[in-house]
């Protein structure tokens, strides 16, 4: 049975090298489609390379994993905000 996002995040947070764990790889894989969609939409409106935006989105996901507190809600909602904010900040910095 597959772990939920919240279970994966807790496992990552408890890991000795969290950003290099198998759980983190699984979480990035799960969220790659969402990140790719967001980066493609932003590319169309800004012209910035979608691969750069995708990388920013993955960094946003990593930030979400580091700072997620399970008692405050669902991980997916929190991660989407972190991913979007990271991409938008990258756009602001590149302007």
Average pLDDT across the chain, whole number: 90
> Ramachandran region of residue 47, left (φ > 0), alpha (ψ -120 to 50) or beta?
left
How far apart, in whole angstroms, are the C-alpha atoms of residue 45 and residue 71?
36
How far apart, in whole angstroms, are the C-alpha atoms of residue 93 and residue 41?
18
Predicted model pTM: 0.90
How far apart, in whole angstroms, are the C-alpha atoms of residue 16 and residue 68?
17
Q: Are 30 and 24 in contact (CB under 8 A)?
A: no
pLDDT digits (tens, 9 = 90+) for 22-53: 889 999 999 999 999 999 888 877 778 888 99
């Amino acid at each position: 049975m597959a772990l939920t996002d919240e279970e994966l995040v807790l496992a990552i947070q408890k890991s000795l090298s969290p950003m290099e764990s198998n759980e983190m790889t699984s979480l990035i894989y799960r969220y790659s489609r969402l990140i790719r969609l967001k980066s493609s939409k932003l590319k169309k409106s800004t012209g910035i390379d979608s691969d750069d935006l995708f990388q920013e989105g993955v960094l946003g996901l990593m930030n979400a994993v580091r700072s997620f507190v399970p008692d405050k809600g669902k991980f997916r909602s929190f991660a989407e905000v972190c991913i979007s904010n990271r991409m938008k900040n990258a756009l602001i910095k590149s302007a």
